[in-house]
Amino acid sequence: MDRRSFLLGIGTLALSQVLAGCSERERATLRVQLLKGSVPARVVKEFRAALKQPAQLNFTSVEQLNSLFNELQSWSQQRPQQADEVGSRIPGIQSQAPDLPDLVTLGDYWLAPAIEQKLIRPLDPAELQQWSNLPIRWQELVRRNEQGQLDAQGQVWAAPYRWGYTVIAYNRDKFESLGWKPSDWSDLWREELRDRISLLNHPREVIGLTLKKLGQSYNTENPSQVRDLEKQLSYLHQQVKLYSSDTYIQPLVLGDTWLAVGWSTDVLPILQRYQQIEVVIPQSGTAVWADLWVHPTGKKSSTSIDTQWIDFCWQPQIAQQIALLGKANSPIPVKLRPSDIQTRLRHLLLFDPQIFQRSDFLLPLSSATMQQYQSLWQEIRIS
């Protein structure tokens, strides 16, 4: 390449950038990477129609929440690498950052490490028209300090748009001969269920539900000091046929297990296909999970379309659609008519404030406390 052709190429590139800049000013772009099935296609269509100016909407779905967290980590690692490699080859030309989405779905369990690792940047609640309609418990969940810990004076790092419970699913046909139905965590310890239960392969969930049975919180700071906890965990382990966080439904449907502990968004969709499966929310309280919108670090939108999308998800009529079509709950209070919900789903989607109050988010714990959880987990798995 000679100098003239090189300069011509640079001039063409500069002109294309100017034209692209003009085009972007005329037409806003919103790129969202979200959990598959967490937002109905109808909602995206209605958002497009509600925009005052034409916009390019690019929604990409991903199967697993942990994959989205891994994506955030990958983008963070690419930024300095690209700066070193590209910038060193062509002096005077600024390297390009990864082509980041404007918003990403993140599970609340990953919020603390995402903040601590600087994978996301804060939101400004003053830019969100619907922020004041978000109940205080949800506002508190996403206010964190720079280490990702809850902090009433901290910044707002995420916007919750749907949530659900850890639930008990069971095969009704198998329980007919027993003369009882599970309703709370204590039922998992019944002798009739020896070697017939599948549990999530997740120490916070398994130890947490055992703590709940003992009248404690999922976020107990010193689990090793809780009386009978280790004994209860050892007995529960004898009840378990398998531990899995992604393949626990099929054994339940086939009758290989009689009862499974799982996440409501995994379990609720199968109720339409398998009439023998029933689901209950433990009456003593359970774990609550939430899906959140977050801004990846390094991506700053030149328009307000990203905040418009968050606000749109919080509009009552849209939040209602996300709840009904996505079979999840909404952080925005919405009035769901029982007649709009399938009979088998009503007790799961109609908000019960008492159970919600008795339930816990899986909050970040100190490293010393997490070590206690890991030690307990390893001990019961080898017992």
Distance from CA of residue 215 to its chain's centroid? 26
- Phi, psi (degrees; rounded to nearest 5) at 105: -75, 135
Asked if domains 27-163+289-343 and 164-288+359-381 share a fold, the reply is yes
- Average pLDDT of adjacent 10-residue blocks, the chain of 383 residues: 38 41 64 95 96 93 93 86 45 60 96 97 96 97 97 97 97 93 97 97 97 97 94 97 94 96 94 94 97 93 88 96 94 92 91 96 95 94 76
The Cα–Cα gap between 19 and 42 comes to 33
Q: What is the pLDDT of residue 152?
A: 96
**pLDDT given for residue 70 in this prediction:** 94
- pLDDT of res. 383: 66
> What kind of fold does domain 164-288+359-381 have according to CATH?
D-Maltodextrin-Binding Protein; domain 2 (3.40.190)
Question: Which residue's entry shows tokens 């830019």?
Answer: 127
- Domain boundaries in the chain? 27-163+289-343, 164-288+359-381
The pLDDT assigned to 300 comes to 78
Where is 3: in which H helix or E strand? helix 3-26
pLDDT at 96: 56
Q: CB neighbours of 27 closer than 8 A, spacing ≥ 6?
A: 53, 54, 55, 56
Question: Which backbone phi and psi does 35 adopt, to 5 degrees?
Answer: -70, 130
Task: Work out the burial of residue 9: count CB atoms within 10 Å of its CB; fewer than 13 is exposed, 13-18 middle, 19 or more buried.
Answer: exposed
CA distance 44 to 37: 12
Kindly compute the dihedral angle of the four CA atoms of residues 75, 121, 44, 249, in this order, to the nearest 10 degrees.
Answer: 70
Domain 27-163+289-343 annotated CATH 2.60.40.420: no
pLDDT at residue number 80: 58
